[in-house]
Amino acid sequence: MALCCDLGLVPYAAAHRLQLDLVGRRIAGALDRDLFLLVEHPLVFTLGRHADRGHLGLSEAVLRERGAELARIERGGEVTCHNPGQLVVYPIVHLRQARLAVRDHVARLEEVMLQVAADCVVKASRDPRNRGVWAGGRKLGSVGVAVRHGVAFHGLALNVVNDLDPFSWINPCGLAGVTMTSLAIESGRPCALTEVKTSCRRALEQVFARRLEEIPSHALRP
């Protein structure tokens, strides 16, 4: 069994601090089960630990004028965007205990997004050249992870009903000219985020082969 918590709309910095705290507890054994956090963020651009700031098409000052946060973090990968209407999942997973390689963990996160897309009648696929999931050559979801003492964190970001215009301000995932898309665009119908979250929980249970116990956010306090 693993734990699952829907945090709702949370500023990126607060969610990042929570992740680091939970990772520390998972490493120490104070948190004895893996945990999946479901969250949305206000507009923020995150850069992986080796990301090239040249992939930001606008200056940091202009991004902030447009209401965006900017954060450099521990995950791999380049720059990406999070905003409301995008489903972000942060799995705190002890890879060492599960004897799971990082590449297999990433593949599981992609599989979760593929299953959610299928539930929304969207045909999505992997691209062997670029991690994440794609629909008709357009990028639908991204993956970026970090690992600390055998515990993986960060995770996936799936575009559901979010505004895609901010992606045009950057080279998403370091890919110039890439077109972003969403479940709403690809399905041609409104996609309720609550329904997508339910689909995501089912996919997490199936792909990670464990039942999820839903817990309130206050239960995550030390």
Distance CA 70, CA 173 (A): 15
Active site residue ranges: 173
Minimal CA–CA distance to 46: which of 7, 3, 8, 90?
90
Buried b (16+ CB within 10 A) or exposed e, 62-89: ebeeeebbeeebbbbbbbbbbbebbbbb
Minimal CA–CA distance to 80: which of 175, 200, 181, 162?
175
Distance CA 215, CA 201 (A): 13
Tokens, residue 156 = 């996936």
Q: How crowded is residue 140: how many other Cβ atoms within 10 Å of its Cβ?
A: 26
